[in-house]
Amino acid sequence: MINTNQRIARVFLTSRFRQLVVAVLSVTFGIAMYVFMNSFMTGVNSEQTEITFTSMSHIRIFNDLSTDVPPLMPFPQNEHTVLMVNNARNIRHTEGIRNAAALKRELEQLSDITGVTTQFNQNVFIRNGVSRSSATLSGIETEGENKLFRTSEFITEGDLYELERRSNGIILGTGLALKIGVGMGDNVLVATSDGVTKSFKVIGLIETGANIADKTKALVSIKTARQLFSENSSYASEILVNIKDYNEAPAVAAKLSHMTNYEVEAWQDGNSQLDSASVLRDIIAIAVSLAILLVAGFGIYNIMNMTVNEKIKEIAILKAMGFNGKDVVEIFLTQSVIIGLIGGWTGLFLGNLIVRFVDRVPFEMGPLETLPVAYRPQDYLLAFGFGLLITFLAGYFPARNASKIDPVEILRG
């Protein structure tokens, strides 16, 4: 049931309808922009992460040169003896991961891990007649690769699983195929750094959306790669691991490092710029959105101040009739909360319309067909909550000033 203070607040609001509309529109615009900015930036970050993880795992296990190099000769005990070692080198006695299958089986038993696959990566030259280009040849397990990276979704021509059936089959990145001028069914010559060459037939094309990767990517089955480089049947250059939450990669990597002597690297360690860029975009989106809401709050503050000045005699009469300071504060806070509620709901509706419109704007780049946006309930809840908070504060300070008015001074004046 509406009490007297709320009735007075309603009269004050409706007596200046134009001011009410301006105040509501300020909140509406602020909340709509908050929803749009956060939805758009979240969508951009999600797509960026999606594209990044089409060729990069959450955790990588590989064989690296040890930084803990023992001295070649013991230090002399005699201070008059001089020890000189020229051109000391850190020699890698073993390359790659020799027993990758056993380590892979062990990793698959862990609850944090959603997928494991092995790869054999080497730099090669791919030739088509006189056209030649350097490339990264990846020997892959098709089933594990597809589980981690959804590789089959990025195959524009051909079939990923054809690699398992054809030992001379190769899938090229669209940029690489264009560079050397080949298409489906053409033959290319792959040359290793050791001078080994082998002819392959192009059985597929892949486009991930990562321009650099598409210009250097070449896929064969891991069995074919091992044969080409004369390695054993359990050899891999790296083991790739995906986990439930990619943000937890450093913690999981630290745990995995106790299971093996090989190097374990979380994706953030080698790609800190991607993580930093994502955080920076989020900060910018929140800062801009809050700035818009604060501007809307100042607008409401000014309107409420004007209302206090215009209604100063009515306030004095109310206080003379027995209304106390708390009643006056309630009257003006009720007005600001009503403005916040109306503006909040209309802002959420307008923000959702803008997001849906942007979601339909054509934007063809890589796997994208429209501009990326995200529909997250927390964005709408936070927008509504911030909107109410700012309108409440914008109404509180004028209301507090109004509660301190001396009715005798006003009525005498």
Tens of pLDDT along 90-141? 554 457 888 888 899 899 898 889 999 999 999 999 999 888 899 999 999 9
Predicted confidence (pLDDT) at residue 52 exceeds the cutoff of 60: yes
Q: What is the chain's mean pLDDT, rounded?
A: 83
Rounded distance between C-alpha atoms, residue 93 and residue 172, angstroms:
33
Residue 259 is which amino acid? M
77 SS3 class: coil
- The region of weakest confidence among 155-164, 221-230, 318-327 is 318-327
Average pLDDT over residues 266-284: 77
User: Which residue ranges make up each domain of the chain?
Assistant: 4-52+275-412, 59-66+94-269
pLDDT confidence tier of residue 72, bands split at 50, 70 and 90: low
Rounded distance between C-alpha atoms, residue 207 and residue 401, angstroms:
64
Highest mean pLDDT among 53-62, 180-189, 404-413: 180-189
Higher pLDDT, 322 or 272: 322
138 SS3 class: strand
Which tokens go with 205? 């094309």
Q: What's the confidence (pLDDT) of residue 71? A: 64
Nearest to 162 by CA among 118, 72, 224, 81: 224
Q: What's the confidence (pLDDT) of residue 299? A: 74
pLDDT confidence tier of residue 1, bands split at 50, 70 and 90: very low
The answer to whether 181 touches 126, Cβ cutoff 8 Å, is: no
Task: Count CB-CB contacts under 10 A for residue 199.
Answer: 11
